[in-house]
Structure 1
């Protein structure tokens, strides 16, 4: 049995406004957090700069490319995310990486509306707000906010509204909300397929099997045909191998972190099946970044587990455990993430000095830039990635001080910088935070 979400007689206009108030507060908080990271140079070329270059391409009517991935590299050959084109009109009005960050904050915050509505229907308005606070502060969302921009932000509200419709037994509405997942990323059609499985489980066999088959077929087609065709290497860029038995402690910890904030109530709902595809490809992958709680990989799981819990908690005798656990876990998540929200590597005067130096680069110039400097340039220049290994020789080179050791070593980057100086590049400006070279 799913949640009875028929309108409650006692609902008032103020009560109906609560989910939108929660979303508004979340939007303000997420936006401020993201813009602070951009202001202090904590945002990076990988991945904010990459996505800005793709959106900038769309905004100017071009095929989406990211020169940070490689000169003229097609982003649709890396991941399949044509939904980014929806940001192009907004980017034309506000050509800045901040546009992407604010859009992501809005989409994440929007997902709080169905979570708050469902929790309030089951637990009452006050406990529903507590649950929504735990959701807004959940580690999967905060970790994503704390790491640039990613296309998965579109999937979070899609999944949230689809799950809400499943709980209200609005089967076709759930499918329509989940259907655009095929335009977000190549693995997400499998989540659409999981919606079909839930429909089958609830007796909607014909619709369910059709949706499940379409989702699986679409994901297979994208990974085996479309992405290899669009990738210059002629292969899917993220196959990466399998390692299902590695990192067991990390994987178990991540799984526990998903269900503990719900007091394990999520385990009692079939809606949790929507999380299975994302968890499967992450847990069997050889890429250890997928196993844990970092980055943006768990953002799409948060609305699933919270809405599944809103369904499963009805079978609990002590329903107060869910809001209590959600709030405690959310506050713990906030505390951990705030530790990363610092004033950055450089002082305010150093940051001002960096902006002054970068302002010497003319618009539309080609520049090779360090990871932390790239987002300052991607809205007006063609930006390549300074990794210490590239043989590109653009007109300008901007290198941060101190440089990051990723993806090569500091020694490799130091040698590359000296080589540039010895092969015709002149030092135009240098501070204790940045060095700017120009090809002579």
Structure 2
């Protein structure tokens, strides 16, 4: 059956025809997956993992990490290892990580804390390493597409080196890099699991697909929506409706349990994530009704407040907008786009500096791979007119041009928005004498003492049962503290004296007679309740 006959029978499948048949005409020993391109890919993975692990750890040692969320994840895991399941106090009155997010993937890290291997630095290193590994399935997808083209006579094995452009551009993506550097978030890990899941889907390895789909869903309560869209993709593009139904069914079940049962169970007053969408309505049905009944209000929010045009330009620019030529593979981006852009939290509207864009990265570059393939197919039909394409064909030069175009756009965007020495401005975090003195001061605190501290000090003190970080602890007489803070540690050089906060704390703490200043050095203060406990 030729292409025209296939296109007449199934136009949706015909659009992606060459994407869904794995060619095995070459043995694994001769496949470029095992040659020089794969070595280059693994070197890129290693370089990313080492560099961003070191950079993230250096940020932590320079007190540039935060209680939200590195600190509260570390405390929740440490408490779990001590028998207090996902308990944390850094965001009191919230007492469980499950009130914020449902992330079963975190439980895989608990054994590290059993053997005293878990720490904020460990979490940062794991995050960088897992994200780096996502380049491997992306590279394999690119190789598969090049192999298909080679079977059709379009590309020779020498052009398999072009496949390395995709993992390189992926690892240069500022959206991904900022997620790695912004504390620790389980959802950042989902990018790699989603890439492996998509690769398994394309290879018709259903068991492997389900494993990685489950891992992705375990990263955050809204990830089942992304996996459900992978199921939709499997149905529309591959006509594998049974697998599609299974993926959608599992996703719907887990999303319902996580979002409507688990989170409200641990959050007083219901699911606290819904607060970001209160402008749409008081409850999920009301929010859905507003989405469909008030398109003017939704459009105004997306276009003016979330600045949708700018967001989309910055999203697709690193792929030279080639991802737009593969609309079906963009489908799994829709849930994350909706979660981010319909929120009233301006942080979620930003692709860099935070972690909210991480789940978009896999499908952005998957779509770039298939977008280039579709453009090549179109060019072949227009330029080759059915003739055999030789090595000097303009089709081949056009394919190289598209790959290079993507790389150039990726490097340009990285230069202005990225987080490596290739970008501007870049500065390696400096651990100053002040930071060293501050670390020494923190080491003097008793290991089990309830502590109050500020956000950037919190991740250095979270391996204890009780730690507070909300200044309402001092200003609200009804603050629900399970125990009194015996130690207060503040670095007045790194938190703003907003509204005379410094003077207020001095008056409330020292002049009240309940606390006394134990030590102060380089504007770092240790304030203890009476009587003073000594570190063991």
* TM-score above 0.5, yes or no: yes
Q: 1:275 aligns with which of 324, 329, 333?
A: 333
Task: List alignment gaps of at least 5 residues for structure 2.
Answer: 1-15, 147-158, 281-297, 377-397, 531-536
Distance 1:208 1:80 in 2: 24
Q: 1:299 aligns with which of 358, 381, 389?
A: 358
Deviation at 1:413, TM superposition (A): 5.3
Correspondence 1:24-423 to 2 at 5 A: 24-70=46-92, 73-91=95-113, 92-122=115-145, 124-201=159-236, 202-231=238-267, 233-240=268-275, 241-242=278-279, 244=298, 245-246=300-301, 248=303, 250-269=307-326, 270-294=328-352, 295-317=354-376, 318=398, 319-320=402-403, 321-334=405-418, 339=425, 341-343=427-429, 348-380=432-464, 382-390=466-474, 391=479, 392=481, 393-405=484-496, 409=498, 411-412=500-501, 414-423=503-512
What secondary structure, in the 3-state scheme, does the structure 2 residue paired with 1:300 have?
helix
1:370–1:399 contact (8 Å) kept in structure 2: yes
Deviation at 1:120, TM superposition (A): 4.1
TM-score, normalised via structure 2 length: 0.75
Distance 1:402 1:168 in 2: 55
Taking a change above 3 Å as real, the CA distance of residues 335 and 144 of structure 1, as seen in their structure-2 partners, is: closer
Task: Pick which of 113-122 and 187-196 moved more.
Answer: 113-122
Taking a change above 3 Å as real, the CA distance of residues 216 and 420 of structure 1, as seen in their structure-2 partners, is: same
Deviation at 1:386, TM superposition (A): 4.4
2:37–2:164 contact (8 Å) kept in structure 1: no
What secondary structure, in the 3-state scheme, does the structure 2 residue paired with 1:297 have?
coil
2:518–2:527 contact (8 Å) kept in structure 1: yes
Who wins on radius of gyration, i.e. which is larger? 2
Distance 2:465 2:492 in 1: 21
Residue deviations 1:360-394, cap 9 Å, x none? 21111111011111111113563211425545541
Distance 2:365 2:411 in 1: 12
2:180–2:188 contact (8 Å) kept in structure 1: no
What secondary structure, in the 3-state scheme, does the structure 2 residue paired with 1:438 have?
strand
Distance 1:242 1:160 in 2: 34
What secondary structure, in the 3-state scheme, does the structure 2 residue paired with 1:73 have?
coil
Task: List alignment gaps of at least 5 residues for structure 1.
Answer: none
1:33–1:145 contact (8 Å) kept in structure 2: no
Distance 1:380 1:222 in 2: 27
Distance 1:279 1:334 in 2: 21
Distance 2:317 2:424 in 1: 21
Distance 1:412 1:251 in 2: 37
Taking a change above 3 Å as real, the CA distance of residues 376 and 137 of structure 1, as seen in their structure-2 partners, is: same
Q: How many pairs were matched up?
A: 435
Distance 2:182 2:524 in 1: 23
Deviation at 1:103, TM superposition (A): 0.9
Distance 2:226 2:220 in 1: 11
Deviation at 1:410, TM superposition (A): 5.1
Distance 2:58 2:424 in 1: 12
